[in-house]
Amino acid sequence: MHNSLHYVSEARAVIFLAIFAGVALSMVEATLGPRIAENVRRQTYDRIPELVPGASSTSTQEISLQPDVGSVNAIYAACDESGTLTGWVLRGQEQGYSGPIVLLVGVDPQASRITGLFVLQQTETPGLGALITRDSFLEQFSGLPANTPIQMMKHATQPGQVQAVSGATISSVAVADAVNRTLSEFRNLLEKTDSRDHMFEQLPSQGEDV
Amino acid sequence: MTDETPRAGTVFWNGILPENPVYRSLLGMCPTLAVTNNLNSAMTMAAATTFVLVASNLMISLIRSWLRPHLRILVFTLTIATFVTIVDKLLAAYMFSMSQQLGPYIPLIIVNCLIVSRCEACASRQPVSTALLDGLGMGAGFALALASIATIRELLGNGTLFGLTVLPESWPGWGIMVLPPGAFLTLGALLGLTNWIRERRTAS
C-alpha cells in the first residue's frame, strides 16, 4: 500500500506536466486552430484571381472529386462575381529534387490554354531549385496550350518552350511534368461524361456548354 | 555549474560569449546548419528557440523540487515538446509563409540539445530568476551565432541581407554559400576564428 502511493508521489512532476500540456495545447488549438485552417485555405483561394483572369475568390468553389483521379488532388471551379465559370484551378503534384512540389494550375473553361501557374509547396534547394517559385519562371507558362505537353528546355528557342531555371533542371522538369500530368488527367475527367456531369452538378447554375 | 546561486549579470553574459551554445559548446548544430541560408529564417528560428528555452527553463525551475533523477529526461522532454508545439502553432497562425519555409525545423527544436542541456545544467538546480536569465542569455548567444552565420551566407550567396539587395548587381552570388556545404564552410571558418581569438586572449 505504501508502495503504490510512493510511485504516484515520485511521478508527480510527470503527472502535473501531462495535465499542464493537455490543457495548454487544447487551449492553443482552440484559439489558433481556425486561424491556421483559414491560412491554409487562403493560400489557395487568394491565388485564384491571378491564376484565372476574371475569377473571384469568393465565388470560386472546390469541386469534390470522385475517388480514383490520380495526381489531380483538388479541382476548383473558378467563377466570376456573377457565378459564371471563367476557368478551373487544379492542384497537382510531382516529386521534385528534394521533396514533393505542389502546384496550382489555372486553365480556361475548355481546358485548352494555361492561364496561370503557382507553386503552393516545395522544399527545393534555396537559391537554386527554389527559384521555380519566381514569377519570371512561372509567367512563361501563361498562355501555353494545355493540350500539348510542355517542353522544358535548357535554352528555350521557340515559342511554346519553357526555359528551365539554370542549375535546377530536375526541379524545372518536375514542374513541367506536374503540369503535363495534371492537365492530361483533368482533360480525361472532362471527356468522361459521368465525371464531367459529377463536376458540373456541383456548380450553382451552369450550362454545360463547354 | 555549481549549486550555489551565481551573480545575475554573469549568468546572462555566460550564454552570450563565454559559454556560447554554438561556438563554445557546439550545441544545436542542426538548426545552425539547416536554416542559416537567410537571415529571416535564422532569426525566426532563434526567436522560436529562445521562447522554448526560456519557457522550459522557467517551468523546470518551478517544479525542480519535484524532479526525480530517473524521471528527469521524461519531464524535460514533456515540457520542451509542449512549448515547441505552442510555438509551431503560433508561427502557423501568424507567420504562415515563414512557417511553411521552416518546415520540419520548428518541430525539430524538441531535439535541440541546447534546451535539454540548460534544463539539466541550470534550471533543475537554480531558482526561477537564474533560470530565466540563463534562458535569455543562452537564447541571445544562439541568436548571435545564427545571425553571424546567416549574414555571411546570405550576403555571399545572394548579395542580400533580410532579403534586401545590398551588394551591387554585378555580384555573382556564390551559390554554394546558400547550399549545405556553405553552412559547414562558414561554421568551420567562424569556429576557427573564435578559437584563434580566444587563444590569443589567454596567451596575452
Task: Report pTM.
Answer: 0.79
Whether B89 sits inside 8 A of A18 (CB atoms) is no
How much of chain B exceeds pLDDT 90, in percent? Answer: 69
Per mean pLDDT, which range of A46-50, A55-59, A131-135 is the poorest?
A: A55-59
Query: Mind listing the pLDDT tens digit for each residue in B160-175?
Result: 899 888 888 888 888 8
- Which of A 134-173 lie inside 8 A of B, CB atoms? 167
User: Are residues A204 and A58 in contact, defined by beta-carbon separation less than 8 angstroms?
Assistant: no
Query: Closest Cα to residue B122, out of B8, B28, B17?
Result: B8
Instruction: Note whether residue B28 is domain-resident.
Output: yes
Which among A14, A125, A128 is the nearest to B71, CB-wise? Answer: A14
Asked if A127 and B175 come within 8 Å (Cβ–Cβ), the reply is: yes
**Angle in degrees, CA A147, A149, A155, rounded to 5:** 135
Q: Residue A187 phi/psi, 5° resolution? A: -65, -40
In a mutagenesis test of the A interface, which of B60, B86, B176 is the best target, namely the one with the most A β-carbons within 10 Å? B86
* Residue A56 scores a pLDDT above 90: no
- Mean pLDDT, chain A, integer: 85
B38, A126: Cβ pair inside 8 Å?
A: yes
Of all residues in chain B, the one with the smallest CA distance to A42 is B96
- At A208 the pLDDT is 46
More confident residue, B147 or A194: B147
At B5 the pLDDT is 63
pLDDT of residue A210: 46
* Residue B34 falls inside a structural domain: yes
Rounded to a whole number, what is the distance in Å from the CA of A50 to chain B's nearest CA? Answer: 18
Backbone angles phi, psi at B62, to 5 degrees: -65, -40
- Report pLDDT for B3: 52
Q: Summarize pLDDT for A69-117 with one digit per residue, the tens.
A: 566 778 888 888 888 888 999 998 899 998 899 999 999 988 889 999 9
Cβ contacts of B74 on chain A, cutoff 8 Å: 14
Task: Give a yes or no: residue B97 inside a domain.
Answer: yes
Q: How many domains does chain B have?
A: 1
The residues, any chain, with a CB within 8 Å of residue A207's CB and separated by 6 or more, are: none
pLDDT in tens, A6-41: 888 888 999 999 999 999 999 999 999 999 999 988
Residue A32 touches chain B, beta carbons under 8 Å = yes
- Cβ-defined contact of B92 to A39 (cutoff 8 Å): yes
Residue A36 forms contact with B (CB below 8 Å): yes
Mutation target for B interface from A10, A28, A171: give the one with most B CBs within 10 A: A28
Residue B96: its chain A contacts at CB < 8 A? 36, 39, 43
Give the confidence band of B133 by pLDDT, cuts at 50, 70, 90.
very high
Q: Sorting pLDDT into bands at 50, 70 and 90, what band is B15?
A: confident
| Residue of chain A minimizing CA distance to B78 | A17
Residue A172's contacts (CB-CB under 8 Å, 6 or more residues apart) are: A132, A137, A152, A162, A164, A165
Cβ neighbours for A169, distance < 8 A, ≥ 6 positions apart: A152, A154
Cell output for B96: 504562415
- Give yes or no for a contact between A124 and A101, defined as CB atoms under 8 angstroms apart: yes
Residues 53-92, chain A, touching B (beta carbon < 8 A):
none
| Cβ <8 Å between A25 and B173 | no
Interface test with B, best of A39, A44, A45, A166 (most B CBs within 10 A): A39
CA B170 to chain centre: 34
- For chain A, give every domain's residue range: 2-45, 48-201
Type of residue at A171:
S
Quick check: is B107 in a domain? yes
With pLDDT > 90 as the criterion, what percentage of chain A qualifies?
31
Query: Which chain B residues are closer than 8 Å to A167 by Cβ?
Result: 175
Residue whose C-alpha is closest to residue B79's, from B109, B121, B39: B109
ipTM of the complex: 0.81
The DSSP-derived string for A110-127 is TS-BEEEEEEEE--PPTT
The residue range of the domain holding B56 is 8-152
**Segments in chain B forming alpha helices (H):** 8-16, 29-34, 39-62, 72-94, 96-102, 113-118, 128-158, 175-178, 180-203
pLDDT at A185 over 80: yes
Q: Which residues of B touch A (CB under 8 A)?
A: 37-38, 59, 63, 66-68, 71, 74-75, 78-79, 81-82, 85-86, 89-90, 92-94, 96, 100, 103, 157-158, 173, 175, 178-179
Cell of B184: 559547414
Residues A110-166: tens digit of each pLDDT = 888 999 999 988 888 777 888 898 888 999 999 898 888 888 888 877 777 889 998
Give the model confidence (pLDDT) of B28-83 as tens digits: 999 999 999 899 999 999 999 999 999 999 999 999 999 988 899 999 999 999 99
